[in-house]
Structure 1
Amino acid sequence: MLFRWDWLRPVLTAPIVPTIGPVHPDALTVDIFEDTLRAAVTGDFLPYDKDRRWSSKKDETILTGDVVHRPDHTLIPTLTRRGRGTVKVFAYGHRDSVVDEAAELAAKLAAVYDAVNARVVRPLGPETGSPRGTRIQLQDFTARPCPDPGGPVRPVSDWPTAVQATFAPFATAMAADGLAFLHTQMQAGRCGPVLAAAVEDRILGAIGPMEVRPDAIGCPQLVPQYFAVLSEARGRGLGRVLWRAAMHWGQSHGAAYQLLQTEVGGPSDRLCQAEGLTSLGFSHTTRA
């Protein structure tokens, strides 16, 4: 099955591609959607899939035989076998009724594939009033300089050994933000550098890994990072310094842009908005 771009493009209110996530608006083409269908047949990663950093095989796949593709809306279901299984249906369309149709499809497919969870993912445009879910934000490194902010930030490996040793308890404390997972990848040497902020010889915040990779059209992007500051250390400006240090790293290492997903109204969302990032839209996920 191939997508008709004249059907799909008008309903792409936000640049979200199933199994890939947010993409740069310039990379939002029919080719990237068709690539995901082909990858579903082989089970392999696409060359520009950011998730290939962590695994040798793709965990989420499109259920190609269950795609609904019509002139005014498109439903693309995916299946994840992680845990007890999740079916997600990406609902592209302007009518609110597309959510109900997507929910019905998600529930049906969850039963077929013995998946416990059924979800609907609704992309929404940047003009959406009172949005919920996650905001897709663009940092354009070609628009303005990102100077080194200075401050107590450097790669974890550049801190003295005694300070490096404090990363493990920090990562454990921030496991809910993915830092424990990141620490495991760091120990195995499977990721790029991680920037850490330390005060009085103790790591209090970190952002990483720092990696630049080509996107679907060959443009270099700074791939998403894990980002966390201990609750007891918030309010000191460490998060902003870490963020700016990461942006300086990305720009100085040749990245053209970065895409981020932030929880609407959360600390990272407010920081990115204050730093002048461009909102590209929203992704709202609901139970089917």
Structure 2
Amino acid sequence: MFFRWDWLRPQLAAPIVPALGPVHPDALAVGIFEDALRAADTGEFLPYDKDRRWGGEKDEKILREDVVHQPEHTLIPTLTRRGHGTVKVFAYGPNDSVVEEAAELAAKLAAAHDVATARVVRPLGPGTTHPRGTRIHLKDFTTGPCPDPGGPVRPVADWPVTVQNTFAPFAQAMAGDGLAFLHTRMQAGQCGPVLAAAVEDRTVGAIGPLEVLPDAVGRPHLMPQYFAVLPEARGRGLGRILWRAAMHWGQSHGAAYQLLQTELDGPSDRLCQAEGLTSLGFTHTASV
């Protein structure tokens, strides 16, 4: 076993695993970190990796030989060749000095692997006084019903063709929120259903894909979705209706929970807080 859990566990301010992302606190164990290391050797997706639904090969991999694992802190670097390439160093530890050491390691590894970007990822606890970056939310489907909110929301394929034909320009307009990527997957038939909101026969919002898969301990969870509403259509409650419709779908299809990441103080973050989701902490990513 590579990691000592008695060293690593006290350093985990938020349940983030390199190359995997947020995990449920009940699934946070030394085994999931060991699995991520083994995946770096094989190049294959882990069975519970959220990215395996897109097919292909796992792009982000842990740089196993460069991991720093000590009683006071742990640094876990990852490498992706996507675009011009990125090295991230996940900095686990209570002291701010861990960020400086992580930044030095990220810069060194970016140069060694000839990639353009070096970053430090710092998990922060839910009680952080002045958090930055993204918040990790937990939606627990076992605590109460998620009723169908109704409204002008239905799967894209269930809308009339006139509305379906407006999805492509909507997706392109919201490319920055991942909707253009999602649309390519929809066209290739490589993802679950996507819910769309339409007003006057025009797509103005969407959330998806909707898929339930088992996590590292076998609990079914609703996978993360892309979620966006056109700026000119905001303020009408459509985002809340879309989100609630997705939660209704997830609960109806047996999901026990969902983990969401939102930009701090952004519209989705405010929505999740208003809906009573549990905050599990934050992640702050900084370029070196």
Q: Shorter-chain TM-score category?
A: over 0.9
1:21 is aligned to: 21
Rounded to whole Å, the distance in 2 between the matches of 1:108 and 1:118 is 9
1:221 is aligned to: 221
Where do residues 77-96 of structure 1 align in structure 2 (5 Å cutoff)? 77-96=77-96
Q: Deviation string for 1:84-103 (max 9, x for gaps)? A: 11110000000110000000
Q: Give secondary structure in 2 for the equivalent of 1:216.
A: coil
Structure 2 length-normalised TM = 0.99
Structure 1 length-normalised TM = 0.99
How far does residue 55 in structure 1 lie from its aligned partner after superposition? 2.9
Rounded to whole Å, the distance in 1 between the matches of 2:4 and 2:94 is 17
| Displacement over 2 Å in runs of 4+ | none
2:236 is aligned to: 236
How far does residue 64 in structure 1 lie from its aligned partner after superposition? 0.2
1:204 is aligned to: 204
Q: Give secondary structure in 1 for the equivalent of 2:285.
A: strand
Task: Structure 2: give runs of 5+ residues left out of the alignment.
Answer: none
How far does residue 223 in structure 1 lie from its aligned partner after superposition? 0.2
1:59 is aligned to: 59
Rounded to whole Å, the distance in 1 between the matches of 2:20 and 2:204 is 31
Rounded to whole Å, the distance in 2 between the matches of 1:97 and 1:34 is 25
Task: Structure 1: give runs of 5+ residues left out of the alignment.
Answer: none
1:157 is aligned to: 157
Instruction: Determine if the alignment matches structure 1 residue 45 to structure 2 residue 45.
Output: yes
How far does residue 53 in structure 1 lie from its aligned partner after superposition? 1.4
2:8 is aligned to: 8
1:103 is aligned to: 103
Rounded to whole Å, the distance in 1 between the matches of 2:106 and 2:168 is 40
Rounded to whole Å, the distance in 2 between the matches of 1:24 and 1:202 is 37
How far does residue 162 in structure 1 lie from its aligned partner after superposition? 1.1
Q: Give secondary structure in 1 for the equivalent of 2:126.
A: coil
- Percent identity of paired positions between Structure 1 and Structure 2: 80
Rounded to whole Å, the distance in 2 between the matches of 1:85 and 1:204 is 33
Rounded to whole Å, the distance in 2 between the matches of 1:20 and 1:172 is 27
Rounded to whole Å, the distance in 2 between the matches of 1:209 and 1:85 is 26
Cα RMSD between the aligned structures?
0.7
Rounded to whole Å, the distance in 2 between the matches of 1:104 and 1:55 is 34
